[in-house]
Amino acid sequence: MDDIDGADAAIEAGIGGAIRAARLAAGLSVTALAERCGISQPHLSQLEAGKSLPSISTLYKLAAALGVSPQGLLPDLDDEVVVIRQGSAPASTVEDRSDAAVARVILGSPDRMLQVQEVSVSVDQDLGGFFEHDGEELLYVLEGAVDVELGRRAPIGLEAGDAVWYLASTPHRWVRTGDGPARLLVVSSSLPARRPHA
């Protein structure tokens, strides 16, 4: 358990450092960045200090405000082979709400093209609003059922074993359907962007 706690702290510190470095490179104060993202200045300070993890929604808002990819705010992975053990990827909510679904970023860093997340949503949780970002995305349903809403298209119903690929720049969101929980594997790709130096 101590190894997992240590890994969580290292990831929180890595994300916090990446946010701070990108903010300084953009010439923004903590207050200015917080206002751009619609989050509180104390919350942003906690994130930069590595004392908490941002929700997926907040991570995407920060990346957009800073002009970097979401992967650009994740810790560097210097190894050519990365093994992720069960339970080693810390969980974060998809939005800053008490009823938000939970996501674990299994893989992602500024110098990688892929970001892989496992998203879990119970019957009393919500998968959040629309996202849009650079790159491509593949959603694979591991368990349960969801509707995938893409722009103005009719919702696409998916069940366990189904997948959908789309351009991530299309506004998209997922809605749990059916009577039970759902678990999703989300693979996003974009061209790697080097994090600016502080």
pLDDT above 70: residue 96: yes
Averaged pLDDT for residues 118-127: 94
Domain interval for residue 68:
2-73
pLDDT above 50: residue 17: yes
Tell me, yes or no, whether 100 and 128 share the same domain: yes
CA torsion angle 96 100 106 109 (round to 10): -30
Averaged pLDDT for residues 14-22: 85
Helices (H) and strands (E) in the chain, counts: 4, 9
pTM of the model: 0.67
Q: Give domain status of residue 148, yes or no.
A: yes
pLDDT of residue 146: 97
Q: Give domain status of residue 85, yes or no.
A: no
Tell me, yes or no, whether 63 and 95 share the same domain: no
Tell me, yes or no, whether 6 and 58 share the same domain: yes
SS3 118: strand
Q: How far apart are CA 186 and CA 162, in angstroms?
A: 12
- pLDDT tens for each residue of 142-181: 999 999 999 999 999 999 999 999 999 999 999 999 999 9
Q: Give domain status of residue 106, yes or no.
A: yes
Domains contained in the chain, number: 2
CATH of residue 13: 1.10.260.40
CATH of residue 150: 2.60.120.10
The residue with tokens 């706690």 is 5
